[in-house]
């Protein structure tokens, strides 16, 4: 048994883990929100040719003064067409469209607004100052072929998808979704559609935790209930651990006579990362890692504790392990009175107040999950918190 740690210490220990992970190739149209697992390099120069950036005419700069700004339009170049040629005759011009290849032999673009077009000629307006190289996007001026444009670990949004498409990546190597199991323990649990007898309750934790995982973009979790039987729990967990990269257990992690989870995990070869966090609710929380890399979160069985611990530790860890960056925790002003447990960090449910601050909405106890209805999340109150100061805020829906 390790000594209890603080929430910040627990967070560091968890994020430092290296869980088992898989990589898969995914069609470009399905990668939004996924985490890139292989660098993407430019397969050509960006742009791939000298590109015209304004509608107008392409000319030779040296002839602007010689022709007194009068050019004969002898050709046309549009986007998507092969490159045109500017004839060698003095005063020649090629009409160009935005996105066209710069006609060979030209080095200057006169935008349509700079000249009048009359009798097949482009005649510069008085007072226009012409410079060489203007309105030309030179080949390779943004990026060169072979340059790394996206590094592994980046979460793929619209910008990243556009870059991958420009590099011809019809399929992208991304982190495969974690295979997650949510396991509740306890003889008192009956199915949602069951009728509890005296001493029994309907299961709520697996469904609530699975809902939080789905809202955060994770694949549906396998839901299981294991009874308070050491041998049966060992057999059940062994199979679950073999099929998943992460397992979230609720219940059976404290020090009661029927809290078999720590012993069973030890029997199965798990390495203890932490057990006990100086927090309320959720003090008995534990974390283990199996030899094959599977990470096991042992959350308390009380529903409020389980939800708070999942949001505070599990969801950010999944983002981090997937190669992404956990969402930045916001800070909000907290108004109102609330009890504070000595020596423990308090996770306090809150409501949104009309002035933009958060209002405490404490529940009766860590089993009062119905008391969370209407709350938007919770704040973390540690020893540094002062009356009416701001506090770290965790929304129930982090995505």
Contacts of 394 (CB under 8 A, 6+ apart): 311, 312, 329, 347, 377, 378, 379, 380
Distances in Å between the Cα of 311 and the Cα atoms of 33, 62, 71, 225, 299 are: 19, 67, 69, 21, 11
- pLDDT per position as a tens digit, 129-145: 999 999 999 999 999 99
Which of these ranges, 72-86, 100-114, 191-205, 289-303, has the smallest mean pLDDT? 191-205
**Does 1 fall in a domain?**
no
Same domain, 199 and 276: yes
- Of 323 and 84, the one with more pLDDT: 84
**Does 334 fall in a domain?**
yes
**Does 294 fall in a domain?**
yes
Same domain, 123 and 163: no
CATH number at residue 97: 2.170.190.11
Contacts of 154 (CB under 8 A, 6+ apart): 35, 36, 160, 323
What integer pLDDT is reported at residue 387 of this predicted model?
A: 58
Same domain, 344 and 360: yes
- Of 302 and 385, the one with more pLDDT: 302
Same domain, 154 and 243: no
Q: Note if the bond before 34 is cis, omega within 30 degrees.
A: no
Q: Note if the bond before 346 is cis, omega within 30 degrees.
A: no
H or E, element range at 11: helix 7-15
Same domain, 181 and 307: yes
Q: What is the DSSP track for 108-120?
A: EEEEGGGEEEETT
Classify residue 271 as left (phi > 0), alpha (psi -120 to 50) or beta. Answer: beta
**Does 2 fall in a domain?**
no
- Report the predicted TM-score, pTM, of the whole model to 2 decimal places: 0.75
Query: Given pLDDT bands bounded at 50, 70 and 90, which one contains residue 1?
Result: low
Cα 361 from Cα 375, distance rounded (Å): 7
Mean pLDDT across the stretch 42-60? 97
Number of C-beta neighbours around residue 343 at 10 A: 8
pLDDT at 88 over 80: yes
pLDDT at 289 over 80: yes
Which residue is listed with tokens 């601050």?
357
Phi, psi at residue 248, to the nearest 5°?
-110, 115
Query: Given pLDDT bands bounded at 50, 70 and 90, which one contains residue 16?
Result: very high
Same domain, 41 and 153: yes
**Does 132 fall in a domain?**
yes
> What sign has the CA pseudo-torsion 200, 201, 203, 205?
negative
Same domain, 36 and 118: no
Query: Given pLDDT bands bounded at 50, 70 and 90, which one contains residue 216?
Result: confident
Six-digit token pair at 176? Answer: 């495969």
HSE-CB for 310 with a 13 A CA cutoff: 31
Which of these ranges, 39-43, 112-116, 145-149, 259-263, has the smallest mean pLDDT? 259-263
Same domain, 29 and 171: yes
Mean pLDDT across the stretch 152-181? 94
CATH number at residue 364: 2.40.340
What integer pLDDT is reported at residue 191 of this predicted model?
A: 87
Same domain, 40 and 155: yes
Same domain, 357 and 252: no
For residue 326, which of 379, 380, 248, 394 has the smallest C-alpha distance?
A: 394
What integer pLDDT is reported at residue 312 of this predicted model?
A: 96
Question: What is the rounded average pLDDT for all residues in the chain?
Answer: 91
What integer pLDDT is reported at residue 244 of this predicted model?
A: 94
Range of the domain at 164: 25-46+142-175
pLDDT at 386 over 70: no
Work out how many domains the chain is built from and give that number: 4
Mean pLDDT across the stretch 150-161? 92
What integer pLDDT is reported at residue 319 of this predicted model?
A: 87
What integer pLDDT is reported at residue 399 of this predicted model?
A: 59
pLDDT at 359 over 70: yes
Distances in Å between the Cα of 272 and the Cα atoms of 146, 266, 338 are: 44, 8, 34
Same domain, 31 and 157: yes
pLDDT at 388 over 60: no
Six-digit token pair at 327? Answer: 């969402």
């Amino acid at each position: 048994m390790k000594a209890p740690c603080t929430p910040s210490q627990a967070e560091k220990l968890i994020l430092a883990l290296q869980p088992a992970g898989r990589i898969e190739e995914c069609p470009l149209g399905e990668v939004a929100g996924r985490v890139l697992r292989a660098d993407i390099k430019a397969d050509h120069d960006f742009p791939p040719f000298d590109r015209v950036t304004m509608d107008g005419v392409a000319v030779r700069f040296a002839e602007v003064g010689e022709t007194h700004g009068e050019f004969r339009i002898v050709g046309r170049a549009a986007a998507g067409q092969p490159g045109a040629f500017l004839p060698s005759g003095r005063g020649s011009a090629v009409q160009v469209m935005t996105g066209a290849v710069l006609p060979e032999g030209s080095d200057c673009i006169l935008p349509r607004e700079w000249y009048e077009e009359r009798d097949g000629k482009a005649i510069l307006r008085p007072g226009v100052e012409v410079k060489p190289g203007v309105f030309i996007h030179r080949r390779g001026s943004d990026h060169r072929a072979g340059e790394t444009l996206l590094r592994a670990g980046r979460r793929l949004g619209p910008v990243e998808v556009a870059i991958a498409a420009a590099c011809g990546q019809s399929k992208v190597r991304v982190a495969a979704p974690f295979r997650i199991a949510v396991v509740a323990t306890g003889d008192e649990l009956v199915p949602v559609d069951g009728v509890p007898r005296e001493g029994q309750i309907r299961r709520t934790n697996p469904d609530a935790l699975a809902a939080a995982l789905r809202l955060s973009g994770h694949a549906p979790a396998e839901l299981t209930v294991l009874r308070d039987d050491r041998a049966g729990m060992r057999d059940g967990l062994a199979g679950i651990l073999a099929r998943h990269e992460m397992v979230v257990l609720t219940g059976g992690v404290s020090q009661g006579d029927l809290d078999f989870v720590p012993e069973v995990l030890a029997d199965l070869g798990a390495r203890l990362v932490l057990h006990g966090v100086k927090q309320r609710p959720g003090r008995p929380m534990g974390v283990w890692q199996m030899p094959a890399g599977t990470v096991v979160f042992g959350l308390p069985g009380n529903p409020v504790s389980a939800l708070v611990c999942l949001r505070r530790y599990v969801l950010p860890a999944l983002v981090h392990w997937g190669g992404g960056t956990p969402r930045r925790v916001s800070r909000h002003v907290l108004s109102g009175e609330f009890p504070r447990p000595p020596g423990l960090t308090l996770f306090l449910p809150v409501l949104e107040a009309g002035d933009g601050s958060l209002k405490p909405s404490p529940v009766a106890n860590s089993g009062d999950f119905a008391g969370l209805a209407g709350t938007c999340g919770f704040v973390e109150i540690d020893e540094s918190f002062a009356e009416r100061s701001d506090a770290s805020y965790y929304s129930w829906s982090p995505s």
